[in-house]
């Protein structure tokens, strides 16, 4: 027979098998098997074996569908044993039109356990499942356990009040399995690890348009992942979240909403995290060791009113980690010790277009960044706005122990510290500011805008300090501060006897402190949105001594000012973060 004809006949046979897949109708709420009616347990057996079971019609091998008789709408199937292991592709569809079909594990039994095949679930409520699937942490997967490469999809469903003594109160995913959740409510589930979901060793979790609320990992002190916990170890594990809501998830350990361990790649897009609570990482904690890598990407998301008893109410990173966040907002988060929103302990962090307001901690109202003996800590902050945050020290930012922070095109405004650094405190670290504005910040003792101590290296270029209460810059036991093309409006560049600040040209300090030669009123307009989008700046007024009095020319200055407008308008760069436009440009 011709080879092409053979292929056609084989394909036709396969398609014929798929077309003949059975529809099995459950018509009993019996939680077990073997009755004269068709129970859910017997329906699964029939689908697995291709034969009959109990009162169910025969299934086929390959892709049967289980439906429910109309008289079962708004009914509950109360299990009296674990449901049979699913070993053949299967679709289970609940009633539509506002009706529900509930499957309850009665706080004693697992609901769906899937081994290496596809399971599609829709329009179901899975409640009070009790995880019995064996895992590295003990009995796991109260509602769904996806094993050995299984592919599970749940749509328009609810996973409620499920529990596991081990991991994954609602969902357990292992060994390269894939779990898709869309338009689902996942609420009030509990486990020691991953209150709602636990994934590891190459599993992939895809979440879209879902709500996670009131899930918890809280029965042991080492618990983590109030809603989701994941580990990759030697097999990268993925978590992809889109357009979802995480609220009031908790753990006594790490990651109130999400914990991502070594080997995990996590993405969060268009999502909201609010009211989540943990020891560290009120919303998210991600970490990796020396031999693994982890990553977290956040875009267009909101983090508000999250709480950490110790570190980072929003996001905590540690180890060999990369964290990227863009176009996201962090507001009213609170940590008991370090990092009202963020705590970065090594790794590479890129924050772009971040709005942070109303956050609070004892140290670092928005972020605290610490160096690590094994991994450098580099934080890049671009086109961001931190306002009205507060702390005992470092109202917005704290850098410690050889951390390295680079802030570009960023405004820190109206932040406050009780003691040091209304906006920024640097301790044995490197902080670089370029095209940035520090305005209206307050410190009770020193460094209303910036406090540098213990041999910190501070480099400030093309930046504006204005209206800060408690002084612009205070340097204590530090000789590594260099200013260039920068204005300290109001002055107050303060030094202790062991410190000095290097003025490297184009530095205007109103009161002449730090041996400034460009002195007198700097003539800045009030903080305003000067064509800079959501980020306010101070514009020099016409006739200001800042105009055309910078140094370096086009070759040695940024191409644009903080607003993104051309940097050199006149004969030389203007001092400060913003270039005064040509009057003709303003008119046009």
CA–CA distances in Å: residue 502 to residues 16, 208, 293, 478, 479 = 81, 53, 39, 11, 8
Q: Can you give the pLDDT at residue 446?
A: 87
Q: Which residues of 433-466 are buried (b: 16+ CB within 10 A; e: fewer)?
A: bbbbbbbbbbbeebbbbbbbbeebbbbbbbbbbb
- Residue 157: inside a domain, yes or no? no
CA–CA distances in Å: residue 67 to residues 92, 94, 182 = 6, 6, 20
Q: Can you give the pLDDT at residue 18?
A: 47
Distance CA 446, CA 417 (A): 9
Cβ 71 vs Cβ 58: under 8 Å: no
Which has the closest alpha carbon to 367: 577, 347, 289?
347
Distance CA 422, CA 401 (A): 19
- Residue 319: inside a domain, yes or no? no
Residue 545: CB atoms within 10 Å: 17
Q: Can you give the pLDDT at residue 137?
A: 81
* pLDDT digits (tens), the chain, 588 positions: 444 434 333 444 444 444 479 999 999 999 999 889 999 999 999 999 999 999 999 999 989 999 999 999 999 999 999 999 999 999 999 999 989 999 999 999 999 999 999 999 999 999 999 999 988 788 999 999 999 999 999 999 999 999 999 999 999 999 899 999 999 999 999 999 999 999 999 999 999 999 999 999 987 778 999 999 999 988 899 999 999 999 999 999 999 999 999 999 999 999 999 999 999 999 999 999 877 899 999 999 999 999 999 999 999 999 999 999 999 999 999 999 999 999 999 899 999 999 999 999 999 999 999 997 777 789 999 999 999 999 999 999 999 999 999 999 999 999 999 999 999 999 999 999 999 999 999 999 989 999 999 989 999 999 999 999 999 999 988 888 999 999 999 989 999 888 889 999 999 999 999 999 999 999 999 999 998 899 999 999 999 999 999 999 999 999 999 999 999 999 999 999 999 997 654 433
Residue showing tokens 């609420």: 187
Residue 356's domain comprises 342-588
In degrees rounded to 5, what are phi and psi of residue 20? Answer: -85, 10
Which has the closest alpha carbon to 328: 302, 357, 359, 308?
302
- Residue 240: inside a domain, yes or no? no
CA–CA distances in Å: residue 65 to residues 20, 111, 147, 564 = 11, 17, 20, 58
Distance CA 184, CA 77 (A): 20
Burial of 9 (0-12, 13-18, 19+ CB in 10 A): exposed
Which H/E stretch holds residue 5? helix 3-19
Q: Where are the alpha helices (DSSP H) in 109-155?
A: none
Cβ 138 vs Cβ 163: under 8 Å: no
Q: Can you give the pLDDT at residue 277?
A: 98
Q: Can you give the pLDDT at residue 251?
A: 97
The strand order across the sheet containing 307-311 reads 163-167, 190-193, 216-217, 250-251, 277-280, 307-311, 334-335, 360-363, 390-393, 416-417, 442-443
- Residue 247: inside a domain, yes or no? no
pTM of the predicted protein model: 0.94
Distance CA 412, CA 404 (A): 18
Distance CA 526, CA 511 (A): 19
Distance CA 228, CA 148 (A): 20
Residue showing tokens 């779990």: 179
Distance CA 323, CA 347 (A): 8
Provide the number of structural domains found in the chain.
1
- Residue 557: inside a domain, yes or no? yes
Identify the sign of the CA torsion 554, 560, 562, 565. positive
């Amino acid at each position: 027979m011709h080879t092409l004809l053979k292929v056609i006949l084989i394909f036709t046979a396969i398609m014929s098998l798929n077309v003949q897949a059975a529809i099995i109708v459950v018509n009993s709420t019996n939680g077990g098997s073997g009755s004269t009616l068709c129970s859910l347990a017997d329906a699964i057996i029939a689908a697995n074996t291709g034969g009959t079971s109990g009162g169910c019609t025969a299934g086929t091998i390959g892709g049967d569908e289980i439906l429910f008789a109309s008289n079962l709408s708004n009914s509950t199937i109360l299990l009296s044993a674990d449901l049979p292991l699913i070993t053949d592709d299967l679709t289970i569809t609940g009633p539509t039109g506002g009706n529900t079909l509930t499957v309850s594990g009665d706080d004693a039994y697992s609901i769906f356990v899937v081994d290496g095949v596809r399971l599609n679930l829709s329009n179901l409520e899975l409640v009070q499942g009790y995880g019995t699937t064996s895992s590295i942490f003990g009995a796991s997967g109260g509602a769904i356990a996806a094993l050995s490469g299984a592919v599970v999809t749940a749509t328009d469903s609810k996973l409620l009040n499920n529990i596991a003594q081990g991991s994954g109160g609602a969902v357990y995913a292992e060994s390269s399995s894939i779990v898709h959740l869309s338009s689902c409510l996942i609420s009030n589930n509990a486990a020691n690890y991953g209150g709602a979901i636990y994934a590891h060793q190459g599993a992939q979790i895809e979440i879209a348009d879902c709500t996670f609320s009131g899930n918890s990992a809280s029965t042991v002190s080492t618990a983590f992942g109030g809603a989701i916990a994941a580990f990759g170890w030697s097999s990268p594990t993925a978590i992809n979240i889109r357009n979802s809501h995480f609220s009031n998830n908790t753990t006594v350990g790490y990651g109130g909403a999400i914990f991502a361990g070594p080997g995990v790649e996590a993405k969060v897009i268009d999502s909201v995290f609010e009211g989540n609570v943990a020891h560290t990482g009120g919303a998210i904690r991600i970490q990796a060791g020396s031999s693994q890598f982890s990553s977290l990407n956040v875009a267009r998301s909101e983090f508000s009113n999250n709480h950490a008893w110790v570190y980072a109410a929003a996001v905590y990173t540690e180890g060999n980690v990369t964290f990227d966040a863009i176009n996201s907002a962090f507001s009213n988060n609170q940590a008991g010790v370090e990092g009202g929103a963020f705590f970065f302990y090594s790794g590479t962090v890129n924050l772009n277009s971040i709005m942070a307001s109303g956050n609070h901690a004892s140290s670092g109202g928005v972020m605290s960044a610490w160096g690590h003996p094994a991994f450098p800590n580099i934080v890049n902050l671009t086109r961001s706005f931190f306002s009205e945050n507060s702390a005992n020290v470092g109202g917005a930012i704290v850098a410690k122990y050889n951390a390295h922070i680079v802030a570009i095109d960023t405004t820190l405004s109206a932040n406050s510290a009780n003691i040091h650094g209304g906006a920024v405190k640097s301790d044995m670290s490197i902080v670089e500011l370029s095209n940035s504005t520090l305005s209206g910040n307050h410190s009770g003792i020193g460094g209303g805008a910036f406090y540098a101590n213990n041999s910190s290296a501070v480099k400030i270029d093309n930046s504006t300090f204005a209206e800060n209460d408690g002084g612009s810059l205070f340097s204590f036991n530090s000789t590594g501060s260099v200013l260039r093309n920068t204005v300290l409006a109001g002055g107050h560049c303060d030094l202790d006897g062991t410190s000095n600040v290097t003025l490297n040209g184009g530095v205007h300090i109103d009161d002449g402190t730090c041996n400034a030669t460009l002195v007198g009123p700097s003539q800045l307009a009030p903080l305003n949105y000067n064509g800079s989008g959501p980020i306010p700046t101070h514009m020099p007024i016409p006739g200001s001594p800042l105009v055309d009095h910078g140094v370096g020319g086009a070759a040695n200055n940024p191409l644009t000012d903080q607003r993104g407008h051309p940097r050199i308008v006149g004969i030389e760069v203007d001092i400060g973060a913003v270039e005064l436009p040509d009057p003709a440009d303003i008119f046009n």
